[in-house]
Amino acid sequence: MSIVDSLKSIKFDSIRPVTSRQTLVVIMGLSIIFSAALMLRIFPVKYGYFLNEFDPFFDYYASKFIVDHFDASGISGLMNYFSWHDYKTWYPEGRPVARTSQVGLHFAGAIFYIIARDIFGLSSSLYDFIVVFPPIVGALSIIPIYLIARRVTSSGGALFASLIIAFSTSVIQRGNLGWFKSEPFALLLALSGCYLFLTLFDSERSNRNIAFRAMFAGSLLGLALTSWGGAQFFNIVFAVLILVIPFLKLDQRKAIFSTSIFVAFYLIVAAISPRPGAALILSPQGLALLGSLSFAILANIIRNFAVVYEYTNILKNTIIGLFFSAIVILSLGFLSEVSGRYLTVVLPFRRSGVPLVESVAEHFVPTGAAFFQEYLILLPFAVFGAMKLLDKRDINSVFILVLAASGAYISGSFSRLMIFSSLAIAFLAAVGFITVTASIFRPLLTGIGKQGTGKSETRTGLKILYSLFMITVLCIPVIVPVYGYNWVFAADLPTSIANSGSTLRGTDPSFLEALAWLSDSTPEDSVVAAWWDYGYWITVMGNRTSLADNATINGTRIEVLGQMFMSPEEESLAILESLDADYVLIFVAGQKSQNAQFGDLYVLGGGGDESKKQWFIRIGGFEDAQFMEADGFSPNQNFWENSFLGRLMPFVWEMAIDRENNIYREYEFSPETTDLFKYQMKYPADGNGPLRLAFASESLQPDAPPGRFSGVLIYEIVKD
């Protein structure tokens, strides 16, 4: 028989894959949601193709180190990362990178790029790859969201949960274009691990299958912990969940078998990395997992020997005993300390009181308005969902409830952690939405198994009305402005470096120009003094050494920089000399206008150092009243005359304006007036010192046109 005849004899209908219509609909739905999620996350590309914020620049810098050493030495070159001590940051001490960084994220960026380049022929640079990596990974998170939600609700409800995460502003803003930071990759790993963990309790699985899934789930969550410290949230979830397992109707022996493997791999994988390291195992977070597992094992032993009706009471007494034992252990100091930031997460009403921590925008406490603005439409569904899951009491429902309660609780501490309340709302609202919708669309019954007579028309009208209402309500936060804000508008934000870190919703190349000037026009060994916000930009984009950066690993250094900026000139210069600095960089933003009578006038404020001075003051150890007026923001006369920052800004007081009455008058502080300034460079380029202007953005030139400005000034320190 010829090959052609052989092929003709094959009945392809019998071997083609068979897919149900529902599966196709789900795949299409997920594809559409993924596309929408990706589009929202790449929205900032309209402002330029850049890394976002500050930390991603160092994370790219570290991934580049790994790629460069792999290209030079092969696989053995990857190990150089763990002995890398970077001296271009935190000069002169430098930084041990592996012990102070998100190791998992750095290797993920490097290894995925190497695979894409060497196996799939990707021709782009590492930078281009890293910029688009977060939105792709973030959009992929809808898949584990769907799979987890599908275990507690229908396919429609699971798609709804994925849709919520796709459009959630708190998730998007921490996973959009250029956000090569912890959250997107760590959440994908952690959520995938959570789904695999839940599959351990499926009754039809063999012990071998369970063991493999437990190892994989634990490894994924361990890797998530090496990529983001915030992934310790899942420690809380699993510690509580494992504690509850003895009270659920499960095969307890299989449950202990699977959770033991899961916890072991979770802790071992995380402990292998220099951060969090082996200290994780003896930390309160690690011991919480081990304690819960020990309780589950003890409960199983008790179950085998105790009388059935006494079993629950014995377990309750055991929990009480373990609780008081934990208090004793903590009070005796046997455990490693919890950092102030993590303690604030556990105790949201206990603020750190440390100005350095309080100055970080992502550490701000989210307001009630922020929660309602984000979740108002979904809250009623979330309540219905929680009520529905409370009735089920199976492992999947308990997991969602524990995750939701934990997420809602800790998101009250830092705005950055609202990402966890978004997960909580997504799962609960999905269950609630399907519960309500199913009750509306369920046929009316007048008796057992009989449809209501004469009511089908009314029921049809109700269904149409409900559908139109729900479509309208769910579209409101997406497209309709509420106080000038909607979900799409929230995604339409420029990357930080695209607008030079100002509050401008647009492009401003000032910082990019300044960093290019640093790289091209200064000696390679130059040391730049600046506020710690700009440290990563100076090191990575400016290719110069910085004194402090966004890792905040040396609070004393940042305090010294605050003192340098707020001290008189002579003391500030002495500090700069002790730090061996060659240049000083500041960033200023505001509005320039032209007046026929008074000439050029400037209003300061727009996200530059003029807007951060209160943190310079507090972190530097000064009192607000020394440099600011009673409103806690406006600079006073002492600021302009006796602080180094005041002298570095090329402005002097001119007058004030009462904008309501359009009256100009001599300056005297009043909450009703706005300060106006004249341009005056105190350290010109042709001056004799102690500083010389080396670079000024175009918008900060005296002849710059009126309008908004945000610019960088770089001064060279004149040395003998």
Instruction: Enumerate the domain spans of the chain.
Output: 21-432, 510-717
Q: Tens digit of pLDDT for each residue in 156-185?
A: 999 999 999 998 888 888 899 999 998 999
| pLDDT the model gives residue 553 | 87
| pLDDT the model gives residue 239 | 93
Question: Model pTM?
Answer: 0.89
Query: Residue 137: which residues within 8 A CB-CB, separation 6 or more?
Result: 175, 184, 185, 188
**Cα distances (Å, whole numbers) of residue 118 to 105, 113, 501:** 20, 8, 36
| pLDDT the model gives residue 10 | 58
**Alpha-carbon gap, residue 504 to 589, rounded angstroms:** 10
Range among 78-87, 438-447, 475-484 rated most confident: 78-87
- 346 vs 301, more confident: 301
Task: Tell me the pLDDT band of 654, cut-offs 50, 70 and 90.
Answer: confident
Per-residue pLDDT, averaged over 330-356, amounts to 56
**Cα distances (Å, whole numbers) of residue 324 to 45, 165, 313:** 54, 39, 17
Element (H, E) at 466: helix 456-479
Per-residue pLDDT, averaged over 372-383, amounts to 81
Burial class (CB in 10 A: 0-12, 13-18, 19+), 145: buried
Length of the chain: 720
Provide DSSP, 684-697.
-TT--SSEEEEEE-
Task: Tell me the pLDDT band of 478, cut-offs 50, 70 and 90.
Answer: low
Q: Name the CA radius of gyration of the chain, rounded.
A: 30
Q: State the amino acid at position 200 in one-letter form.
A: L
| pLDDT the model gives residue 500 | 86
Residue corresponding to tokens 């699993």? 238
> Can you list the positions of beta strands (E) in 428-544?
445-447, 450-451, 527-529
| Secondary structure of 547-563 in HEC code, one letter for each residue | CCCCCCCCHHHHHHHHH
Q: Tens digit of pLDDT for each residue in 307-342?
A: 666 667 777 777 777 777 766 665 555 555 555 555
- 531 vs 1, more confident: 531
- Statement: residue 414 has pLDDT above 70: no
- Residues facing residue 532 across a β-bridge: none
Q: Tens digit of pLDDT for each residue in 542-571?
A: 999 999 998 888 889 999 999 999 999 999
Check: CB of residue 195 under 8 Å from CB of residue 144: yes
User: Could you tell me the sign of the dihedral formed by the alpha carbons of 578, 580, 582, 586, in that order?
Assistant: negative
Q: Tens digit of pLDDT for each residue in 572-589?
A: 999 999 999 999 999 999
**Alpha-carbon gap, residue 403 to 234, rounded angstroms:** 8
First-to-last C-alpha distance (Å) of the chain: 95
Per-residue pLDDT, averaged over 112-139, amounts to 95
**Alpha-carbon gap, residue 174 to 434, rounded angstroms:** 28
Query: Residue 586: which residues within 8 A CB-CB, separation 6 or more?
Result: 530, 531, 608, 609, 645, 648, 649, 712, 713
**Alpha-carbon gap, residue 212 to 256, rounded angstroms:** 15
Specify the range with the lowest mean pLDDT, choosing from 2-6, 107-111, 504-508. 2-6
| pLDDT the model gives residue 449 | 47
Q: Tens digit of pLDDT for each residue in 655-703?
A: 888 766 677 777 677 778 888 899 999 999 988 879 999 999 998 998 8
Per-residue pLDDT, averaged over 35-41, amounts to 93
| pLDDT the model gives residue 448 | 47
Tell which residue, 671, 560, 569, 570, has the closest CA to residue 619: 560
Mean pLDDT over the full length of the chain: 85
| pLDDT the model gives residue 8 | 56
Check: CB of residue 583 under 8 Å from CB of residue 527: yes
Strands 527-529 and 583-595: parallel
- Statement: residue 291 has pLDDT above 90: no
- Statement: residue 356 has pLDDT above 50: yes
Tokens representing 450 are: 């009989």
Task: Say what percent of the chain tops pLDDT 70.
Answer: 84
- Statement: residue 108 has pLDDT above 50: yes
Give the DSSP letter of residue 705. P
Q: Tens digit of pLDDT for each residue in 58-93?
A: 999 999 999 999 999 999 999 999 999 999 999 999
- 205 vs 193, more confident: 193
Tell which residue, 239, 154, 211, 224, has the closest CA to residue 185: 224
Per-residue pLDDT, averaged over 199-216, amounts to 93
Query: Residue 572: which residues within 8 A CB-CB, separation 6 or more?
Result: 564, 565, 644
H helix intervals, 359-394 = 368-375, 379-392
**Alpha-carbon gap, residue 296 to 243, rounded angstroms:** 6
**Alpha-carbon gap, residue 167 to 687, rounded angstroms:** 54
- Statement: residue 26 has pLDDT above 50: yes
- 222 vs 462, more confident: 222
| pLDDT the model gives residue 560 | 96
Task: Tell me the pLDDT band of 192, cut-offs 50, 70 and 90.
Answer: very high
Task: Tell me the pLDDT band of 485, cut-offs 50, 70 and 90.
Answer: low
Specify the range with the lowest mean pLDDT, choosing from 194-208, 311-325, 597-611. 311-325
**Alpha-carbon gap, residue 288 to 4, rounded angstroms:** 66
- 18 vs 114, more confident: 114
Residue corresponding to tokens 């309080």? 358
Per-residue pLDDT, averaged over 117-127, amounts to 95
H helix intervals, 273-367 = 284-305, 308-331, 340-346, 355-358
Burial class (CB in 10 A: 0-12, 13-18, 19+), 653: middle
Task: Say what percent of the chain tops pLDDT 90.
Answer: 54
Mark 683-697 as b/e (b = at least 16 C-beta within 10 Å). Answer: beeeeeebbebbbbb
